[in-house]
Structure 1
Amino acid sequence: MATSESTTKRYLPWVVATALFMEQLDSTIVNTGIPSMAASLGVTPLSLKAVVTSYILALAVSIPVSGWLAERYGSRRVFMFAVALFTVSSVLCGLAVNSTMLIAARVPQGIAAAMMMPVGRMVIVRTFSKGELLRAMNFVIIPALLGPLLGPTVGGLIVHWASWREIFFVNVPVGLAALWFASKHMPNYQNDTPRPLDVRGLILFASGAGLLSWLLEVFGEISLSNEMVATLVAVSLGLLAAYGWHAQRVPYPLLRLSLFSTRTFRVGVLGGFVTRLGVGGMPFLLPLLYQLGLGMPVWQSGLLMMPAAMGAMAMKALSGPMLRRFGYRRVLIVNTLLVACAIACYALVDAGTPVVAIVALGLALGLFNSLQFSSMNTMAYADINPEDTAMASTLASTLQQMSMSFGLAFGSLITGYFLQGLSQSDQLAVTASLHHAFIALAVLTVVSSAAFWTLRPEDGESVSKGSVAPT
């Protein structure tokens, strides 16, 4: 390690959290600036959809190879390279003189984000003992919760007071700080005998995941026939199935699916995948409810996203004691139902709902989401051997990224289905369709709780019993 073990453990969660917050904030903040970017570059807003899709595609395709890179070249080197690449790409995005340059600069930005997330989580898991893991993960999970909530607000303020270019330039000081701290406090874990890269598996998985992510990202915004969409979905699923078949027949697969034989990892990742389908749609649906359904201005809509972020922060100090007292099984079963109830309660929000009630509901959703994510993410590594942490982190990060993207798409599809072609200027129609979408997401979240019933009361004790409240 670059410094003493105690100093590394003190600062490492902040290093990883800072980089991940930059990545999570950037991935949502860009959407707010699309109209301003289009006007500045002289193109239509729809043509700039590729600014988002190019990033998502690069991210989805690159995550699986991040674990291999860390094993071969060292975690500190890969993490710092990713932060540097993300920062430089942000500058290039801010300096773009046309849409082509902007889209091209977003590709390396997505590749860099794909390396930061799993490598940072892998280093946390390898550095901290099982008993310390919950405390450390409580810090690292916050960016995933705050980014989607704060992105629209911060983006709106930047575009209003400055220009869309500052959306990308704000990453520079954050990236430089993350680089400096990573050079001092990031361990450089490296495998002396790295496994060979599964090129065939990379082609199969990247093609399938990339195609599916692209379809979900642009669904409803491109003129493809139903037959063509069905064909492309079938092709993407066929490629992913082919990867599953391939992974069982090679000694060093890109993603080792045999890790799912570990019950706690399987439940934490696959059960969490379904849970995130419900939770992942909320950052997309809530601004629509506030702005289109309730007629609020953008600034007020953004402020109403803040209570959830505050609740997520407050839960940091509570999750450890709760998991020690009640255990992962009981907490996940009950809390999943509480998350579903909070989502369903938004179906009661209309123009007559007091703002204080909306604030209280947002605070509750933030509390429950934070506990849910911390529990799922830490339990997944409770029984993973140290030598498997890089692979486990890569596999978990890949599925988590896909589930959040699928959640946004699912929420959008449900809303569009219930809107049934009615005008989006009709506040009552939009509100009613969003209410149906909230109920659908809540039901899906309830269904996901079934996975946590398969846990045993003692599962995760190696993580929860030794954890202490974060300082």
Structure 2
Amino acid sequence: MSTAPSSAVQRYLPWLVGVVLFMETLDSTIVNTAVPSMARSLEVTPLSLKAIVTSYILALAVGIPVSGWLADRFGTRKLFISAVAIFTLASILCGLSVNAPMLVAARILQGLGAAMMTPVGRLAIVRTFPKSQLLDKMNFVIIPALIGPLLGPTVGGLIVHWWSWREIFFVNVPVGLAALWLSRRYMPEYRSDSPRPLDAIGVVLFSSGAALLSWLLEVFGEHRLDVTSGAILFLLSFALLGAYGLHANRTEHPLLNLRLFQVRTFRVSVLGGLITRLGIGGLPFLLPLFYQLGMGMPAWQSGLMMMPSAIAAMTVKALSPHLLRRYGYRRILIVNTVLMGVVIGLFALADQSTPIVVIVLLSFLVGSGSSMQFSSMNSLAFADIDARNSSMANTIASSMQQLSMSFGLACGSLLTGWYLGGLPQTDQIAVTNALHAAFITLGIATVVSSLSFWTLRAGDGHALTAKNEAPVATREPVTD
């Protein structure tokens, strides 16, 4: 069941989804620079507050897979409004927290709100616009997802410097209230006429496996787990996810329908994107370290050095639809992935003697490449998905993107720690050399990941770039 979207809904819905997406991605990184201030205020050690980051990630990993089922059953409008309200209320509770357990509990609630908010917003975009417009609209709303993690550390540091850590969460309140008002006016209602039953076994298997894996990737580089315990927990997480795979192929209504991976464009976008993000996803973690520890910049200047990437992302968003229409998804994804790998590797040549304009140029190129890459991969996922499977495809893509973010950050952290060996992090030369080696490794991995896009065909994604498009429901999935 659905209501035909009005012109006002089509005009303002991308802005609404973009705003909440920015709020969600900003909140995932903004707390990082405020942890020392929080620890002093709550009278705990900074290390013990790592849970405020991991709890948010875990809530996302658990909540995202269920978001598609909830949207089909209760409708996109009702669920989206509820998610924004939960996120805003949780933000207030975070800012009012008087101890660490209360803060962690509020962050879990905040993560659950975000887990429903972002996928349902994207689903509304997919169902509101024809595929011929989907590239432009997805390209528009993906920009906040690129800018949020880049601005998070900078904004968090400035807020803590001028006010207190509590304002980090209170800034969400006016944005959340505005999003609630806009949601009531411009969020369309889409609901399945015959919602599938909830796959309770699948929820337990996949959510527990994904949550455990996300938590391990988040804490693995901090040496809080011995090798044996870490290996056992990793095997357990993979066993849970493997058990879900067997279960999904045997049940009629699985939580995540893995049969959608038979659609070539969806498979390449989701799985190829997972591999590509291993290299690109480590940059938000590695670059601030490189600017501060390798080049000796203060924290505020390091944060400002991330701004060229954000500016580039906004610039390229206007160009990527035209480039994709002219050259096609296959050529763009292959060439752009290789170029991204080269740019990442070029950071290994930079040091304190490198002119700042060169660093800014490299940062600009990173933002440009990331914008093109994510816009291409995220829109390609829906190129050959029919209307009845759009909710499921959106849930799978969102879940895999969440895992890929954890994989990317973990890869950057583990590689740097491995190259550093047992040397102290106060040794600037050793840290710089370790970061240089990590940049080269991630650059090579990114170039190699371009092989996944060679399986695309020249016409793949044409439904997204064609000027005139047949109705979504009449298109058949492209399988092989």
Q: Is the 8 A contact 1:204 1:239 kept in 2?
A: yes
Alpha-carbon distance in structure 1 between the residues aligned to 2:270 and 2:99: 40
1:3 to partner: Cα distance: 8.8
1:420 to partner: Cα distance: 0.7
1:281 correspondence with 2:282: yes
Alpha-carbon distance in structure 1 between the residues aligned to 2:467 and 2:364: 28
Alpha-carbon distance in structure 2 between the residues aligned to 1:41 and 1:466: 57
Alpha-carbon distance in structure 2 between the residues aligned to 1:290 and 1:220: 20
Which stretch shows the higher mean deviation, 95-104 or 222-231? 222-231
Q: Is the 8 A contact 1:25 1:150 kept in 2?
A: yes
Aligned residue for 2:412? 411
- Give the structure-2-normalised TM-score: 0.96
Q: What do residues 82-107 of structure 1 show as CA deviations (whole Å, max 9, x unaligned)? A: 11100000000000011111011111
1:64 correspondence with 2:65: yes
1:10-409 matched pairs, under 5 angstroms: 10-221=11-222, 223-409=224-410
Q: Is the 8 A contact 1:94 1:166 kept in 2?
A: yes
Alpha-carbon distance in structure 2 between the residues aligned to 1:225 and 1:219: 9
Alpha-carbon distance in structure 2 between the residues aligned to 1:2 and 1:252: 26
Q: What do residues 43-64 of structure 1 show as CA deviations (whole Å, max 9, x unaligned)? A: 0001111111111111101110
Q: Is the 8 A contact 2:3 2:190 kept in 1?
A: no
Identify if the C-alpha distance between structure 1 residues 338 and 3 changes in structure 2 by more than 3 Å, giving closer, same or farther.
same
Identify if the C-alpha distance between structure 1 residues 259 and 3 changes in structure 2 by more than 3 Å, giving closer, same or farther.
closer
1:4 to partner: Cα distance: 5.6
1:465 to partner: Cα distance: 2.3
Q: Is the 8 A contact 1:3 1:184 kept in 2?
A: no
Describe the SS at the equivalent of 1:254. coil
Aligned residues: 468
Q: What do residues 331-382 of structure 1 show as CA deviations (whole Å, max 9, x unaligned)? A: 0100011111111111111000111111111111111110110001111100
Alpha-carbon distance in structure 2 between the residues aligned to 1:449 and 1:465: 25
1:424 correspondence with 2:415: no
Alpha-carbon distance in structure 2 between the residues aligned to 1:145 and 1:33: 21
Q: Is the 8 A contact 1:3 1:185 kept in 2?
A: no
Identity of aligned residues (%): 64
The two structures, once aligned, show a CA RMSD in angstroms of: 1.3
Alpha-carbon distance in structure 1 between the residues aligned to 2:458 and 2:397: 23
Identify if the C-alpha distance between structure 1 residues 3 and 456 changes in structure 2 by more than 3 Å, giving closer, same or farther.
closer
Alpha-carbon distance in structure 1 between the residues aligned to 2:350 and 2:14: 37
Describe the SS at the equivalent of 2:425. coil
Q: Is the 8 A contact 1:138 1:374 kept in 2?
A: yes
1:2 to partner: Cα distance: 7.8
- Letter paired with 2:201: R
Alpha-carbon distance in structure 2 between the residues aligned to 1:149 and 1:16: 19
Describe the SS at the equivalent of 2:318. helix
Q: Is the 8 A contact 1:269 1:380 kept in 2?
A: yes
Q: Is the 8 A contact 2:61 2:402 kept in 1?
A: yes
Alpha-carbon distance in structure 2 between the residues aligned to 1:223 and 1:371: 37
Q: What do residues 418-470 of structure 1 show as CA deviations (whole Å, max 9, x unaligned)? A: 01121211111111100111111111111211111001100001101239xxx
Alpha-carbon distance in structure 1 between the residues aligned to 2:181 and 2:3: 12
Q: Is the 8 A contact 1:336 1:372 kept in 2?
A: yes
Alpha-carbon distance in structure 2 between the residues aligned to 1:120 and 1:275: 24
Which stretch shows the higher mean deviation, 45-54 or 242-251? 45-54
Alpha-carbon distance in structure 1 between the residues aligned to 2:222 and 2:453: 37
Identify if the C-alpha distance between structure 1 residues 240 and 160 changes in structure 2 by more than 3 Å, giving closer, same or farther.
same
- Letter paired with 1:79: F
Q: Is the 8 A contact 1:2 1:186 kept in 2?
A: no
Alpha-carbon distance in structure 2 between the residues aligned to 1:224 and 1:125: 42
1:279 to partner: Cα distance: 0.8
Q: Is the 8 A contact 2:64 2:395 kept in 1?
A: yes
- Letter paired with 1:117: T
- Letter paired with 1:21: F
Q: Is the 8 A contact 2:330 2:456 kept in 1?
A: yes
Q: Is the 8 A contact 1:60 1:401 kept in 2?
A: yes
Which stretch shows the higher mean deviation, 305-314 or 208-217? 208-217
- Letter paired with 1:356: V
- Give the structure-1-normalised TM-score: 0.98
1:456 correspondence with 2:457: yes
Q: Is the 8 A contact 2:282 2:413 kept in 1?
A: yes
- Letter paired with 1:122: L
Alpha-carbon distance in structure 1 between the residues aligned to 2:3 and 2:263: 33
Q: Is the 8 A contact 2:221 2:410 kept in 1?
A: no
Identify if the C-alpha distance between structure 1 residues 220 and 360 changes in structure 2 by more than 3 Å, giving closer, same or farther.
closer
Alpha-carbon distance in structure 1 between the residues aligned to 2:7 and 2:211: 41
- Letter paired with 1:245: L
Q: What do residues 220-271 of structure 1 show as CA deviations (whole Å, max 9, x unaligned)? A: 4354321111111111100000000000000000000000000000001110
- Letter paired with 1:78: L
Alpha-carbon distance in structure 2 between the residues aligned to 1:314 and 1:164: 32
Alpha-carbon distance in structure 1 between the residues aligned to 2:82 and 2:141: 19
Identify if the C-alpha distance between structure 1 residues 98 and 245 changes in structure 2 by more than 3 Å, giving closer, same or farther.
same
- Letter paired with 1:200: I
- Letter paired with 1:95: L
Q: What do residues 59-90 of structure 1 show as CA deviations (whole Å, max 9, x unaligned)? A: 10111000000000000111111111000000
Alpha-carbon distance in structure 2 between the residues aligned to 1:244 and 1:328: 29
